């Protein structure tokens, strides 16, 4: 008898979740047992559904503690080690790949992966293997490591909204002077001239 792999889908777009669920449920050994639209709902849903593999989008809403899919993968690895995560994202950025794997994700594929290949990726991840889009793997190696510190990345995520330094300081619980220092360092590392430009470059490279 074929053992069924229980899948959790996490994506903030209901249509995407529905399409993925329909495709995966066509496979005789795969069953979608839970769906969520927020990063901070992943762990609880994985625990409730006893999911084996969690397919996580990267850019979806969450909380301060679990702001996106990569953070959800890290929380999942800590809280529910029996569940393995596979990032399935529109944004195939090398920096995202590095961050996801460092956070404990077992695989990383893009959403235009053919259905049969996605199903096989789920099976391989469930079997304890690592699955990575080969093109992204090459780009990640060529692109080098993320130069930003954790704090620099944190302030740049807030700076993406174009808010004043005082507001950034409030949201990250630091003084305005400390925030300016982090922003100045990040601007230098990204080769930009403003904090918003630095944030956008870091986002496009998958560093935040």
Calpha distance 133→41 (Å, rounded): 26
Q: Cβ contacts of residue 139 below 8 Å, gap of 6+?
A: 94
Two tokens, residue 68 = 């996106």
190's enclosing H/E stretch is: helix 176-190
The rounded percent of the chain whose pLDDT value lies above 90 is: 60
**Which residues share a beta bridge with 8?**
34, 54
The rounded percent of the chain whose pLDDT value lies above 70 is: 92
Two tokens, residue 176 = 């305005």
**Which residues share a beta bridge with 86?**
55, 107
Q: How many helices (H) and strands (E) in the chain?
A: 10, 6
Q: Rounded mean pLDDT of 116-132?
A: 93
Whether pLDDT at 139 is above 70 = no
Q: How confident is residue 142, by pLDDT bands cut at 50, 70 and 90?
A: very low
Q: How many CA atoms lie within 13 A of 82 on its CB side?
A: 9
| Chain segment 55-86, per-residue pLDDT in tens | 999 989 999 889 999 999 999 999 999 999 99
Whether pLDDT at 26 is above 80 = yes
* Domain chopping of the chain, boundaries: 5-142, 150-204
Whether pLDDT at 190 is above 70 = yes
| Chain segment 83-122, per-residue pLDDT in tens | 999 999 887 676 788 888 888 999 999 888 889 999 999 9
CATH topology of domain 150-204: Arc Repressor Mutant, subunit A (1.10.10)
Unique residue bearing structure tokens 């762990």: 43
Whether pLDDT at 2 is above 60 = no
Q: For residue 160, give the 3-state DSSP assignment.
A: coil
pLDDT of residue 8: 98
Whether pLDDT at 22 is above 80 = yes
Q: Which candidate, 58, 142, 53, 68, places its Cα nearest to that of 106?
A: 53
Calpha distance 166→170 (Å, rounded): 6
Predicted TM-score of the model (pTM): 0.70
Calpha distance 33→8 (Å, rounded): 6
- For 5-142, which CATH class? alpha beta
Q: Rounded mean pLDDT of 156-178?
A: 91
Q: Rounded mean pLDDT of 18-39?
A: 95
Contact (Cβ atoms closer than 8 angstroms) between residue 174 and residue 165: no
């Amino acid at each position: 008898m074929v053992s069924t792999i229980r899948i959790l889908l996490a994506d903030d777009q209901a249509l995407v979740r529905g399409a993925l669920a329909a495709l995966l449920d066509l496979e005789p050994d795969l069953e979608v047992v839970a769906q969520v639209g927020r990063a901070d709902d992943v762990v609880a849903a994985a625990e409730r559904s006893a999911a084996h593999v969690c397919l996580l989008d990267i850019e979806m809403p969450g909380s301060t503690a679990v702001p996106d899919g990569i953070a959800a993968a890290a929380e999942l690895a800590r809280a529910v080690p029996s569940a393995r995560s596979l990032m399935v994202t529109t944004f195939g950025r090398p920096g995202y790949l590095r961050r996801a794997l460092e956070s404990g994700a077992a695989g990383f594929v893009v959403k235009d992966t053919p259905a049969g290949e996605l199903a096989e990726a789920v099976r391989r991840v469930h079997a304890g293997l690592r699955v990575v889009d080969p093109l992204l793997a090459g780009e990640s190696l060529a692109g080098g490591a993320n130069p930003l510190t954790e704090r620099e990345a944190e302030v740049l995520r807030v700076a993406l909204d174009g808010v004043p330094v005082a507001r950034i300081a409030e949201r990250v619980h630091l003084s305005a002077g400390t925030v300016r220092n982090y922003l100045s360092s990040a601007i230098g590392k990204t080769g930009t001239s403003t904090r918003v430009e630095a944030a956008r470059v870091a986002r496009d490279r998958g560093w935040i």
